[in-house]
């Protein structure tokens, strides 16, 4: 038996695959379209590992997905594949509709066909876990309680609207067809292999290269941060013990204003790799025009996951962010490859024809 991970060359997916194979001998079939955000270099340590089967392809390719499910006798699917960057969704929503909605639909259809043809014991053991975001719940005011699983969906960006649509499809496939699904809605992740267009890796990289650290608007937008490996452990827990058809919010109770996050990064960098002129990296902070429709606050209530499934994050924001900064300092060649044509060359060399 094996599990099918989609989007396993992206930020969270690659962390999940690495963590999974560090703890289990079960084969991981990794289906990824390798968009700009998919980076097989994240999985370079698995090049010679027969337990990792990488397949270059689209979740929207019904025949491909059904073929993989049958060929590898898949017992669970974990769906990370998505277009995930809010700014990109504002400038060009089309890809978000195609992958997050149409792609998820075709993936569900292939999984439904496969699951219908399983023997009853295998049908009962099968799981489809859909990885989603807290952004589907919309934006909170300062005094509002954090998002619970019962909150109404109020997505505000094309990204969150497309994720909300996929969450609804997953729910409907459970209610209509009995497909054994689970959904997780997680807060903002940070950690190793984060594409350097997102706030934390962008600021670390810009700081080190002497560039401005851009802060949208007043920098008081609040996000709830979770170290990526804690998200991975939550997904493993839900996959193993979650109740079918249920939704689990995942978060670490770490609400921070964006400006405070950037100041924290600057303070850690000042300590670990001081600027040549002895000044603080905070001098590079620059305020830029706010993103249109920017949600003010996200916060996750993870009580259900903690109480019912006994999950707890291993990292606090302070320990996780320090590990993250250290990882970027230790892996500058990874960042430089992502940011340069070398990444494309590496891709062509190592993954030609796959
Ligand atoms: P990412 O953009 O880093 O990775 C997405 C991966 O999916 C990439 O490897 C990409 O090549 C692949 N992909 C895109 N379209 C595909 C398609 N049609 N078929 C197959 N593969 C495709 O994203 P991420 O930050 O790792 O997020 C993974 C999932 O977790 C997403 O579903 C996202 O909505 C969700 N999520 C992310 C966060 C976060 O903070 N990053 C928080 C909560 C939930």
Query: Max alpha carbon distance in the chain (Å)?
Result: 68
* Dist. CA 119 → ligand 1 center (Å): 32
Hey, whose CA ends up nearest to atom 15 of ligand 1? Answer: 82
What CATH architecture is 2-337? 3-Layer(aba) Sandwich (3.40)
Handedness of CA 211, 216, 217, 218 (dihedral sign): negative
SS3 278: coil
Substitution site in 5, 6, 7 for ligand 1 pocket (most atoms within 8 Å of beta carbon): 7
Q: Which one of 134, 167, 224, 306 is the catalytic residue?
A: 134
Cβ-Cβ contacts under 8 Å for 344 (sequence gap 6 or more): none
Partners of 79 in the β-ladder:
6, 130
> Which of these is catalytic: 32, 41, 58, 135?
135
Mutate to test the pocket of ligand 1, among 12, 83, 254 (most ligand atoms within 8 A of CB): 12
Predicted structure pTM score: 0.95
Active-site residue, 134 included: yes
Please state the domain extents for the chain: 2-337
Asked if 29 and 56 touch (Cβ cutoff 8 Å), the reply is no
- 259-275 burial: b if 16+ Cβ within 10 Å, else e: bebbbbbbebbbeeeeb
Nearest CA-CA partner of 99 in 171, 169, 3: 169
Residue 26, classed as helix, strand or coil, is coil
Distance from residue 314's CA to the centre of ligand 1 (Å): 23
Please give the chain's pLDDT, 354 residues, in tens: 899 999 999 999 999 999 999 999 999 999 999 999 999 999 999 999 999 999 999 999 999 999 999 999 999 999 999 999 988 999 999 999 999 999 999 999 999 999 999 999 999 999 999 999 999 999 999 999 999 999 999 999 999 999 999 999 999 999 999 999 999 999 999 999 999 888 999 999 999 999 999 999 999 999 999 999 999 999 999 999 999 999 999 999 999 999 999 999 999 999 999 999 999 999 999 999 988 888 899 999 999 999 999 999 999 999 999 999 999 999 999 999 998 877 667 667 766 545
ipTM computed for the complex: 0.99
Q: Where on the phi/psi map is residue 138: left (φ > 0), alpha (ψ -120 to 50), or beta?
A: left
- Give the single-character DSSP code of 1: -
């Amino acid at each position: 038996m094996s599990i099918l991970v989609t989007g396993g060359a992206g930020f969270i997916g690659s962390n999940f695959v690495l963590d999974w194979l560090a703890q289990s001998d079960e084969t991981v079939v990794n289906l990824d379209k390798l968009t700009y955000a998919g980076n097989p270099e994240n999985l370079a340590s698995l090049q010679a590992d027969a337990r990792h089967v990488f397949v270059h392809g689209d979740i929207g390719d019904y025949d491909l997905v059904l073929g993989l499910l049958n060929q590898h006798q898949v017992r669970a699917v974990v769906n990370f594949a998505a277009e995930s960057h809010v700014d990109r969704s504002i400038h060009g929503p089309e890809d978000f509709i195609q992958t997050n909605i149409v792609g998820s639909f075709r993936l569900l259809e292939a999984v439904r066909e496969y699951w219908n043809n399983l023997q009853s014991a295998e049908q009962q053991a099968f799981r489809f876990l859909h990885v989603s975001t807290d952004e589907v719940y919309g934006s909170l005011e300062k005094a509002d309680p954090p998002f619970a699983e019962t909150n109404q969906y109020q997505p505000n960006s094309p990204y969150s609207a497309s994720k909300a649509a996929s969450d609804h499809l997953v729910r409907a496939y459970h209610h209509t067809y009995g497909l054994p699904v689970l959904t997780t809605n997680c807060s903002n992740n940070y950690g190793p292999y984060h594409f350097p267009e997102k706030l934390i890796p962008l600021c670390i990289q810009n700081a080190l290269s002497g560039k401005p650290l851009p802060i949208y608007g007043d920098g008081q937008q609040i996000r709830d941060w979770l170290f990526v490996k804690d998200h991975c452990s939550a997904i493993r827990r839900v996959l193993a013990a979650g109740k079918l058809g249920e939704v689990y919010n995942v978060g670490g109770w770490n609400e921070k204003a964006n400006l405070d996050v950037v100041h924290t990064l600057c303070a850690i960098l000042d300590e670990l790799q001081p600027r040549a002129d002895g000044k603080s990296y905070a001098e590079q902070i620059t305020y830029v025009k706010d993103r249109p429709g920017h949600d003010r606050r996200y916060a996750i209530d993870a009580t259900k996951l903690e109480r019912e499934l006994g999950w707890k994050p291993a990292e606090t924001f302070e320990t996780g962010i320090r590990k993250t900064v250290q990882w970027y300092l230790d892996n500058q060649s990874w960042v430089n490859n992502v940011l340069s044509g070398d990444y494309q060359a590496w891709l062509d060399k190592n993954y030609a024809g796959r």
